[in-house]
Amino acid sequence: MNNMKFEHIPVLATDTIKNLNIKKDGVYVDLTLGKGGHSKMILENLSDKGRLIAIDQDKEAIEAAKENLKDFSNVTFINSNFEKFEEVLANLGLDLIDGALMDIGVSSYQIDNAERGFSYMKDGPLDMRMNQDNELTAEIVVNEYSQDELERIFFEYGEERFSKSVARNIIKQRSEGRIDSTIKLRDIIRKSIKSNETHPEKRVFQALRIEVNRELEVLENTIETVVDHLKVGGRIAIISFHSLEDRIVKNKFKDLATACICPPELPVCVCNHKAKIKVITRKPITATMKELKMNSRSKPAKLRVGERI
């Protein structure tokens, strides 16, 4: 177990807690516990009768959060992917909850720990798994996926304009030996991208992380499931860190807030589709100048909130 000290400042914390409208005796779920920064603030707003279910697929995160939340007795820690949200509730004998939070993205301690392979600033193994029990790693993707597959991932998940050139150079390089470290990969990417950016590799690293952890698929699959388990008036708050995630959240919220989905040419509604939420945030909430000064990692964060109707 890595003994590095986890430093963690929860992003958009005040806005998130305010928008969750916490009922002091309610049941809340933090689907992305991390070190427990947001969880701690939820617990501080709950009475002893209130309850928090804290889920994370990363065992190291759970250990760190247990230490951070050791003063609270009304929290249940679950080591699982939030995709299994329904199963988690059923195992705890729960059905409806008062609110849920998802903070999508890599925790600061995961980035800061070179051994996890998320960072392009420090050398480490090409891992990038949030759940260390999963078999697929970034090293497998980089060394075993075809050129076409790599190109597609970099373009779709990283929105990388030079995805063709990066994929081609990876294939060329790996014919001379396995690409097994973050710095080796970073150097290949830098040679492939014609740019004056400080970190042109960041989009490819993002794309690999999304592929390894199936992040977009899992997010898309989970939002409606969570909404289905909210009590009327219960809220879901989702913080995302890049445009692909934010687009999924925005579109999913829009779908869930729409009543009739019949084609416009039909004179009467035949779909019987009912809206499940009202969108509380017409535009996403972003970090204030004050927060940006304190925590530069909050810069890309966007918070969207929906309420069960």
CATH number, span 13-109+216-308 = 3.40.50.150
- Same topology, domains 13-109+216-308 and 114-213? Answer is no
CATH number, span 114-213 = 1.10.150.170
Provide the residue ranges of all domains of the chain, joining segments of one domain with +: 13-109+216-308, 114-213
**Binding residue ranges for S-adenosyl-L-methionine:** 36-38, 56, 82, 103, 110
Q: How large is the angle between the packed helices 182-192 and 202-213, nearest 10 degrees?
A: 130
State the Cα–Cα distance between residues 270 and 289, nearest whole angstrom: 48
- With CA atoms as reference, report the closest residue to 257 among 307, 208, 195: 307
Q: What is the pLDDT along the chain (309 residues), one digit of tens a residue?
A: 444 444 457 899 999 999 999 999 999 999 999 999 999 999 999 999 999 999 999 999 999 999 999 999 999 999 999 999 999 999 999 999 999 999 997 877 788 889 999 999 999 999 999 999 999 999 999 999 999 999 999 999 999 999 999 999 999 999 999 999 999 999 999 999 988 889 999 999 999 999 999 999 999 999 999 999 999 999 999 999 999 999 999 999 999 999 988 888 988 889 888 999 999 999 999 999 999 999 888 999 999 999 999
Specify the amino acid at residue 263: P
pLDDT the model gives residue 109: 74
Q: What is the DSSP letter of 250?
A: H
* Residue 152 C-alpha from the chain's centroid: 21
| Residue showing tokens 């029990």 | 133
pLDDT the model gives residue 8: 55
**Binding residue ranges:** 36-38, 56, 82, 103, 110
